[in-house]
């Protein structure tokens, strides 16, 4: 079984002029979190969907899932104070409900333009090799700076990739990685792949897309609106 675990519990504090978390902003009569949810719903490789959100928006998510006919919805799970805690809450819900060899695709709902091809590459690679990490090659020049913004050195962009989601794992590996992180007092990891890497597991890259960007600031939201708003 392949399960999408969609994270929609963030507070979205870096967007200006709104008190609504970014994943619940409405674009084209559709909340942002629903764009990626619908893509996972359409994918013939996805069997079930878990949406992790905060308790305040749980009912709202339920209503939207009924409105947009998310028939693969397995459950709505309440998140935690950090992204890591929210993922772990989702994994704990799945613990007695899935096989240890099932695949879990963890995706940030703030990346609404994920494609079915990216999902397929994740599922096929994770089933074959144990995990899949969506990435894109870095095209820009990169510099390392000091505290006063002095340029220290240029980085070799051929060795740099930008990490996206989904990130997909065999359930037993990602669950073990999260438990080990807590044992080591790691509570706010950058993502899930870095926790699995700590197990000594090799990570496998699949191609993402520049359109699979994360809505973090106002410019990102503006770009998303330009791409999807009906003219």
- CA of 224: how far to CAs of 40, 137, 165, 182, 184, in Å? 19, 21, 17, 35, 38
**Per the structure block, which two tokens stand in for 61?**
């998510």
Residues 77-131 have pLDDT tens digits of 999 999 999 999 999 999 999 999 999 999 999 999 999 999 999 999 999 999 9
**Per the structure block, which two tokens stand in for 169?**
């794992």
Where are the extended beta strands (E) located within the chain? Answer: 2-8, 26-27, 30-31, 48-53, 73-78, 103-108, 131-137, 142-145, 151-155, 161-170, 205-207
Output the pLDDT for position 206. Answer: 98
Spans in the chain with pLDDT lower than 70: 12-18, 230-231
Output the pLDDT for position 150. Answer: 86
Output the pLDDT for position 59. Answer: 95
- Axis-axis angle for helices 32-42, 116-129 (nearest 10): 60
Output the pLDDT for position 14. Answer: 56
> Token match 């099932």: residue?
102
**Residues 16 and 25 sit within 8 Å (Cβ to Cβ):** no
Output the pLDDT for position 209. Answer: 97
Domain-wise residue ranges, the chain: 2-228
**Residues 122 and 134 sit within 8 Å (Cβ to Cβ):** yes
pTM: 0.94
Output the pLDDT for position 230. Answer: 67
Superfamily of domain 2-228: Spore Coat Polysaccharide Biosynthesis Protein SpsA; Chain A (3.90.550.10)
**Residues 178 and 91 sit within 8 Å (Cβ to Cβ):** yes
């Amino acid at each position: 079984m392949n399960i999408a675990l969609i994270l929609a519990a963030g507070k979205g504090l870096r967007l200006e002029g709104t008190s609504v978390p970014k994943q619940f902003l409405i674009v084209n009569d559709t909340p942002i979190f629903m764009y990626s949810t619908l893509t996972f719903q359409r994918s013939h490789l996805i069997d079930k969907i878990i949406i992790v959100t905060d308790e305040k928006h749980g009912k709202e998510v339920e209503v939207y899932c009924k409105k947009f006919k998310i028939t693969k919805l397995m459950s709505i799970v309440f998140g935690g104070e950090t992204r890591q805690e929210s993922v772990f809450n989702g994994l704990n819900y799945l613990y007695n409900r899935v096989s240890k060899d099932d695949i879990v695709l963890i995706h940030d709902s703030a990346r609404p333009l994920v494609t079915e091809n990216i999902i397929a590459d994740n599922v096929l690679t994770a089933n074959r090799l144990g995990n899949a990490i969506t990435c894109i090659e870095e095209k820009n020049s990169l510099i390392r700076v000091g505290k006063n913004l002095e340029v220290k050195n240029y980085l070799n962009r051929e060795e740099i990739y930008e990490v996206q989601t989904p990130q997909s794992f065999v359930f037993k590996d990602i669950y073990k990685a999260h438990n080990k992180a807590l044992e080591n007092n790691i509570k706010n990891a950058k993502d899930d792949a870095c926790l699995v890497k700590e197990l000594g597991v090799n990570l496998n890259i699949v191609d993402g897309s520049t359109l699979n960007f994360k809505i973090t600031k106002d410019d990102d939201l503006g770009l998303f609106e330009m791409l999807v708003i009906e003219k």
